Structure 1
Amino acid sequence: MLAAQRQELIVEKVQQSGGVRVTDLVEDFAVSDMTIRRDLDVLESRGAIRKVHGGAVTPQGASTEEPGFEAKSEREEREKHEIAREAARLVEPDSAVGLSAGTTTRTVAEYLRDTPGLTVVTNSPRVADVFYRPGRPDQTVALTGGFRTPSDALVGPLALTTVRSLHLDVLILGVHGIQERAGFTTPNLMEAETNKALVEAARSLVVVADHTKWGTVGLSTIAPLSRCDVLVTDSRLATPARETLAEHVGNLRIADSDEERTPQ
């Protein structure tokens, strides 16, 4: 197979799934790791893909572009676990915690599932599934109703009615993008409305976002940077972005990558 043919097929795979792994491409095309990485370099230079740690994803698109849950779950897995572990430490036992929809917040749920006495409110069936286990009568999970978005968030009037009647100790919020002027954003208008209600219901706001979210601007703002009490991100966030965020959020935390990253 010619390099041009292989690169065309790589682009098709990225467009179909939203992201690909280098290891999978090596196996699919029976070529070396270095060959695939050279292909990705060429494709990124053309703007056809965006390289990320361990693979490639679709290039940043319009402010209304909304990848599905499965596509997003392939991205920055290591960073998500680092961030999730750090965020989970901010949740006290016997507290009421909100978890928005998203792949990072679902990972946070994995680290919180053994925290005693939690009352969890979420608009994500994926997050709720993490907590639905027999033998944990000390935990309460409230799943809002609503219409499902491409990112598997429940939104709409039913979700809003549920959220607006509650008072949360802390909300752990996943976002599509972060930018100094736009704040925390999402490409989905209805999801933005539900997330705004979750923010208003929470005494404390913790935002979990990996380094790729910086500079991305979705269609609708959820909250300004100044509303965030703690922003947890990973060590690949560039220094200028760290300095900007440190000026606007209450507390910027860089997750430590040296510890065991998967929940027990």
Structure 2
Amino acid sequence: MKSSHQMIKERRDKLLALLTTETSLLVKEISLELAVSEITIRRDLTALEKMGLVQRTHGKAKIVQKTGTEDYNEEIEILKNAIAKKAAEFVKDGNTLFINTGSTALSSLKNLENKRVTIVTNNVKVANLDHNPNSTVILSGGEIRFPKEALVGDIAIDSFSKMSSDISIIGCSGLSIENGITTPVLHESKINSLIIERTNGLVIVVADYRKIGFSSNFTSGKIKDINYLITDTFASPEVIRAIEKQGVQVIQVEL
């Protein structure tokens, strides 16, 4: 049986395919063609418009012409940015914040606005961002692993082991009941585990729907280590319910 997020994705793919065959279509026409309610079609069009995939005018919708790869990448980036923005809301002025090398975790820093914080990370890419001049950015040091520009090894581990944070925002490659928070890189899993261990306050995992229910090679932490999971509404409802049963607060951002 297909999960509801799969059904939504398939329906929206069909909607986009339909719009590629016509200059524009009325909501009623799309509803009849796909055999779903007009309310559902309007909801889908709202989400697709926010993703930059469709344009609506005078009750009609038309496709925004791009390649399939661009469509997919833009959709994912919009989801990740929405997740990152929500995560940033939990960071308070004066906090010390740990983040790992996850791209969504890094994006959360762009949404801190004027908060004065201390950021501790093993992500070299943090140096490319604009920061509040009253904030402090601390790189852990260590061996740089490319292409991710992650700092790993004994020096990085030693740095994190001597610090603690008020809050951490962690990206991952997979999150499952069976294997917890996972990453494909052993060296990074050790740092991630230490980030969780040395966080005195909230541990927030940020992951879009592609990561939910998926497991990578190395475990960084257990589900019970997480205070908040921030994901999107495409995430598998079955996995989300199982995660919530472990005591995790789940926030699903909507587009």
In the superposition, the TM-score normalised over structure 1's length comes to 0.66
Instruction: Count matched residues.
Output: 191
Q: Distance in 2 between matches of 1:105 and 1:183?
A: 18
2:109 is aligned to 109
Q: Distance in 1 between matches of 2:105 and 2:127?
A: 11
1:127 is aligned to 126
Q: Structure 2 counterpart of 1:138, which letter?
A: N
Q: Distance in 1 between matches of 2:104 and 2:96?
A: 19
Q: Structure 1 counterpart of 2:249, which letter?
A: N
User: Which structure's CA Rg is the greater one?
Assistant: 2
1:96 aligns with 2:93: no
Match of 2:189 among 183, 188, 192: 192
243 and 202 in structure 1: CA distance in 2 versus 1, 3 angstrom threshold: same
**Deviation >3 Å, runs of 4+:** 53-57
78 and 138 in structure 1: CA distance in 2 versus 1, 3 angstrom threshold: same
The answer (yes or no) to whether the contact 1:102–1:153 under 8 Å persists in 2 is no
Using the TM superposition, give the Cα deviation of residue 129 of structure 1 relative to its aligned residue in structure 2, in angstroms. 2.5
1:52-201 correspondence runs (5 A): 55=68, 76-112=76-112, 114-132=113-131, 136-149=132-145, 150-201=147-198
Q: Distance in 2 between matches of 1:56 and 1:220?
A: 29
Q: Distance in 2 between matches of 1:151 and 1:90?
A: 26
2:222 is aligned to 224
Q: Structure 2 counterpart of 1:120, which letter?
A: I
RMSD across aligned positions (CA): 2.5
Using the TM superposition, give the Cα deviation of residue 74 of structure 1 relative to its aligned residue in structure 2, in angstroms. 6.8
Query: Where does structure 1 lack aligned partners over 5 or more consecutive residues?
Result: 1-31, 35-52, 58-72, 258-264
Q: Distance in 2 between matches of 1:124 and 1:178?
A: 21
In the superposition, the TM-score normalised over structure 2's length comes to 0.69
Q: Structure 1 counterpart of 2:89, which letter?
A: R
The answer (yes or no) to whether the contact 2:212–2:236 under 8 Å persists in 1 is no
Using the TM superposition, give the Cα deviation of residue 115 of structure 1 relative to its aligned residue in structure 2, in angstroms. 3.4
Q: Distance in 2 between matches of 1:184 and 1:127?
A: 22
The answer (yes or no) to whether the contact 2:176–2:215 under 8 Å persists in 1 is yes
1:40 is aligned to none
The answer (yes or no) to whether the contact 1:147–1:155 under 8 Å persists in 2 is yes
The answer (yes or no) to whether the contact 2:152–2:187 under 8 Å persists in 1 is yes
